[in-house]
């Protein structure tokens, strides 16, 4: 029997939990080798039980095992899955934020080489709380969304950082057949704690007043309606009514 399948079972359906993506109702989905997963009935996200989320020390140690060299051509081709469609829709000399950039911000280098300005923020490797109090033409999350412990708060915050006409560009694996979930390589990463579907981002976009377009199998672009640029130091209001945080007490947590 394939790895993980013997340990996988549907969980007791008698309990419920709040979805950390949309705050809807989640039901038990599956247990794989002791790790309990929930499925949201509203946005269809699958997430690890909140009581099993890794602590920051465990996360950082795992991230340090990654070898994402900005000079590696294979890694740059991987990032181009998001960079290429994003670059096609950006105005000249746009200003952006690479959220969860990690220790080697290759994507920022690629976008800067194309004439754009990119600020960095990563709570583990490049913390810059001030970066979360500005406005941007684009915000990128490459292989970050699946690490988020509080995705609802993060996406709400980042939507408030985007200027009218701006984009939130996300790259993460989008769904897999439930029969393959237990053996899925993406699930086996101990720091991957939430798994999205295209329907998840459609729901998120609608709830935040954004347009959603899937531009690659694992890439979505969320656009804020409108056009024009505001002052870079004057946060705009999110469509949901929330504003960019004025302090770091509610700073969103990224995962590199």
Q: What is the pLDDT of residues 139-172, one digit of tens each?
A: 999 999 999 999 999 999 999 999 999 999 999 9
Sheet holding 211-216: strands in order across? 117-121, 95-99, 136-142, 162-171, 219-223, 211-216
The structure tokens listed for 126 are: 């490049």
- HSE toward the beta carbon, residue 26, CA cutoff 13 A: 25
- Is residue 104 predicted with pLDDT exceeding 50? yes
Q: What pTM was computed for the model?
A: 0.85
For the segment 15-44, the average pLDDT, to the nearest whole number, is 95
Q: Where are the domains of the chain?
A: 54-174+189-223
Whether 48 contacts 54, CB under 8 Å: no
For the segment 120-139, the average pLDDT, to the nearest whole number, is 96
Whether 31 contacts 8, CB under 8 Å: yes
The residue count of the chain comes to 256
The CATH code of domain 54-174+189-223 reads 3.40.50.150
CA 11 – CA 32 distance, rounded (Å) = 10
Whether 231 contacts 163, CB under 8 Å: no
Which pLDDT belongs to residue 72? 86
Report helix, strand or coil for 36.
Answer: strand
CA 172 – CA 175 distance, rounded (Å) = 9
* pLDDT tens readout for residues 196-244: 999 999 999 999 999 999 999 999 999 999 985 544 444 444 333 334 3
Which pLDDT belongs to residue 20? 97
Whether 83 contacts 111, CB under 8 Å: yes
Which pLDDT belongs to residue 216? 96
CA 190 – CA 144 distance, rounded (Å) = 14
């Amino acid at each position: 029997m394939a790895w993980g399948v013997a340990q996988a079972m549907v969980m007791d359906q008698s309990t419920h939990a709040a979805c950390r993506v949309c705050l809807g109702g989640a039901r038990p989905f599956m247990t794989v080798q002791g790790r309990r997963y929930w499925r949201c009935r509203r946005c269809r996200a699958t997430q690890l039980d909140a009581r099993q989320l890794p602590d920051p020390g465990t996360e950082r140690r795992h991230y340090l095992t990654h070898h994402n060299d900005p000079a590696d051509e294979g890694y740059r081709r991987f990032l181009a899955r998001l960079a290429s469609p994003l670059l096609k829709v950006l105005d000249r000399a746009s200003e952006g934020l690479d959220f969860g950039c990690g220790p080697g911000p290759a994507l920022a280098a690629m976008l800067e080489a194309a004439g754009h300005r990119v600020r960095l923020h990563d709570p583990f490797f490049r913390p810059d709380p001030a970066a979360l109090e500005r406005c941007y033409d684009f915000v990128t999350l490459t292989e970050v969304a699946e690490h988020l412990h509080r995705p609802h708060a993060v996406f709400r915050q980042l939507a408030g950082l985007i200027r009218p006409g701006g984009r939130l560009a996300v790259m993460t694996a989008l769904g897999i057949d439930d029969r393959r979930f237990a053996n899925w390589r993406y699930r086996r990463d101990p720091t991957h704690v939430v798994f999205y579907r295209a329907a998840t981002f459609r729901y998120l976009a609608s709830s935040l007043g954004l347009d959603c377009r899937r531009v690659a199998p694992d890439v979505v672009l969320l656009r804020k309606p409108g056009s024009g640029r505001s002052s870079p130091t004057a946060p705009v209001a999110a469509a949901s009514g929330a504003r960019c945080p004025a302090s770091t007490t509610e700073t969103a947590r990224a995962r590199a």
